[in-house]
A and B are shown apart, each in its own frame.
Chain A
Amino acid sequence: MQPTSSMNEEFLKKWQMGLQIFRPSIDNTSVHERKKAIKLSADVAMASLRKGTTCWSRALIEKTATEDNFLVRQMLSGIKAEALINKKLPKKIVCHRKIVRRSKKILRRKSKSASEEAAAKAKRLVKRRTQGLRNVVPGGELMSNDVLLLQETLDYIVSLQTQVNVMRSIVDAAEAEIDQR
């Protein structure tokens, strides 16, 4: 499922609303400040599109809120998505590494046949990759099972594609304006 044009428009609308909040404090001379504001508003807009139905959107808003709580709240109120900031996230999954390692060692000692080892190695690879995916997707650590993780990844990818498309078009248009001058 590719991002639709309606999704693009919605995202753009929300993003614009968020950017309006930064307008007063436009005297940020630093490029990084501006970039941060742009990205922040874009992320918040993207997350609010899902209206709190997905785990990653809530986690993303939590993350941005911790960095810049006031602005995020302002933005959310602008987008009328204030409820999102209060949504509870599932508990973070805590793995006690020592215990896990010990149990893994014990398990490894048991199976010695070649096929089992291959299967175990494949499993390990997959586990490592899923852990990597959890690190990449916002809120990945909070998802208890792989199925949910994949589902969230799917949604997150679509939203990211929307974001990238909209931003790219705006950049292209702005550059076109500059070139035309």
Chain B
Amino acid sequence: MDLSEKDEFSAEKRNPDNYDSVNNPSGDWRVSGSNPIDSYPSENLISAGPASCSPSQMMDSFGQTLWYDPTSVQAMGYGGFSVQNNGGNASSSSFRGNIDRSLEMGWNLPNLLPPKGNGLFLPNASSFLPPSMAQFPADSGFIERAARFSLFSGGNFSDMVNQPLGNPESIGLFLQRGGTMQGQCQSNELNVCEPHNDVSTVVKDPTVRSSEQAKPNVPGSGNVSEDTQSSGGNGRKGRETSSNTKKRKRNGQNSEAAQSHRSQQSEEEPDNNGDKKLNSEQSPNSPGNKTNSGKQQGKQSSDPPKDGYIHVRARRGQATNSHSLAERVRREKISERMKFLQDLVPGCNKVTGKAVMLDEIINYVQSLQRQVEFLSMKLATVNPQMDFNLEGLLAKDALQLRAGSSSTTTPFPPNMAMAYPPLPHGFMQQTLSSIGRTISSPFSSMNGGFKRQVCISDLAVCKVNNPRLTL
């Protein structure tokens, strides 16, 4: 029955969302479980779409895989997980099994995450788990964690691998934003992330989650599954916080890659030195753990609709209080936004400090608004008829009429004629075209300077033909 369930689970894992499917029979992970730690670095753990699988099913299948070789697992500690860089088939399941085992080692997870509506969620967390998540039995949470763990990219594990075996590191909290793992994966030797964006985000999560929430807990399980799904979704978004990976590395291997920060997204930066925090894993009963796990599950990136969390990793030497972590995340986001604003607002490079920067920003916005008012007033006075018929400006190429051709009311190029609405006077179009010429040049180089290419002959023609024309 175990195998059948597991196969069923594996089958579900092959989801259309592009996750690698977990086809492993349960026996695989057993074998892999005994592998030395060396096999870590190139692990291609891709949990088949936790998002697509129903957590209950995952949970069921996982339940069977637990409790294998507890002794061996213990000997290897965290390092006991053998991460194999398959196409994500066997390794994921095996990995999961390993994780489950280690997790099961008497860790008592306190009550997992607080309810979704917690203040831990970042304000821009767009989604929360559906209420049904909370109904999962305790096992599901465990399985979810394991699944997430399996999504863990090999790079992360390499960090773990480097640790002495007998020192299972508590991973602490991870801070992720959707697609974070994406970047990590790319830098990693693993191919985990490449085909599946979803996987990437989960990379960090599972380790932390699983470690900290080893205890199957009903409330936590919902959150865990939530995390799994969200992490999957996050990866899909492809956003990455390479900084996250950087900080996660214990050995300072900040190779992880592509720091493709989305400009509008502040990327959380987990700490490299989560080692200290990892220790908290070993004492799952510690309040820090509890809060951390609570916080973890509370925070997910909000990329896809399912996600709503951002996984934060506590820095070395810092409090693991959930509130402080949330605060740190928020502060980092704000500082990132302020950096962009500094680039935008002229003359703010030397300014440091939030208050002064905000002051400058307020002044700049107010000055821009006043400028708009002033310019609109000026336009109103300059052109009483308000006939700024400058659609021709859009067709820059067509506005290359030269003086020679404009000595007479030459027929305009077809595109220009079509661009203008029917005007009573053809020379009006001429004038406007000349205006367009002058305006189109600044558009290409909006630096305030603007060359006057007005053809005097055009204007003369216009003036002659239509003395009433007021410009």
A positions within 8 Å CB-CB of B: 1-3, 5, 8-9, 12-13, 16, 19-20, 22-23, 26, 31-32, 34-35, 37-39, 42, 122, 125-126, 129-130, 132-133, 136-137, 144-148, 150-151, 153-154, 156-158, 160-161, 163-165, 167-178, 180-181
What's the Cα separation between A126 and B362 when bound, in Å? 12
User: What 1/0 mask marks residues of chain B from 383 to 407 whose CB sits below 8 Å from any chain A CB?
Assistant: 1111111110110000000000000
12 example contacts (A-B, Cβ-Cβ < 8 A) are as follows A35-B376, A39-B372, A126-B355, A132-B362, A136-B366, A147-B337, A148-B124, A150-B341, A154-B264, A156-B365, A157-B361, A174-B382
What's the Cα separation between A2 and B346 when bound, in Å? 11
* Pairwise interchain contact A136-B446, C-beta atoms closer than 8 A: no
* Pairwise interchain contact B362-A133, C-beta atoms closer than 8 A: yes
What's the Cα separation between A173 and B377 when bound, in Å? 15
Q: Which residues of B contact A16 (CB under 8 A)?
A: 388-391
A-B contacts besides A12-B390, A164-B372, 10 pairs, CB < 8 Å: A16-B389, A26-B387, A38-B386, A133-B358, A137-B365, A145-B124, A154-B264, A170-B390, A170-B439, A180-B454
User: What 1/0 mask marks residues of chain B from 94 to 129 whose CB sits below 8 Å from any chain A CB?
Assistant: 000000000000000000000000000011100000
Known: A19-B388, A150-B338. A38 touches B368 (CB 8 A): no
What's the Cα separation between A2 and B448 when bound, in Å? 13
What's the Cα separation between A145 and B331 when bound, in Å? 12
Q: Which residues of A contact B344 (CB under 8 A)?
A: 1-2, 154, 157-158
Question: Does B138 belong to the interface (CB within 8 Å)?
Answer: no
Known: A12-B394, A16-B391. A157 touches B386 (CB 8 A): no
* Pairwise interchain contact A37-B386, C-beta atoms closer than 8 A: yes
Name the distance in Å between A45's Cβ and chain B's nearest Cβ.
Answer: 12
What's the Cα separation between A141 and B263 when bound, in Å? 24
Question: Does B471 belong to the interface (CB within 8 Å)?
Answer: yes
Q: By CB atoms of chain B within 10 A, which of A126, A148, A175 has the most?
A: A126
What's the Cα separation between A125 and B359 when bound, in Å? 10
* Pairwise interchain contact B459-A148, C-beta atoms closer than 8 A: no
Q: By CB atoms of chain B within 10 A, which of A5, A8, A150, A176 has the most?
A: A150
Name the distance in Å between B461's Cβ and chain A's nearest Cβ.
Answer: 12
Of B337, B358, B381, which is within 8 A of A129 by CB? Answer: B358
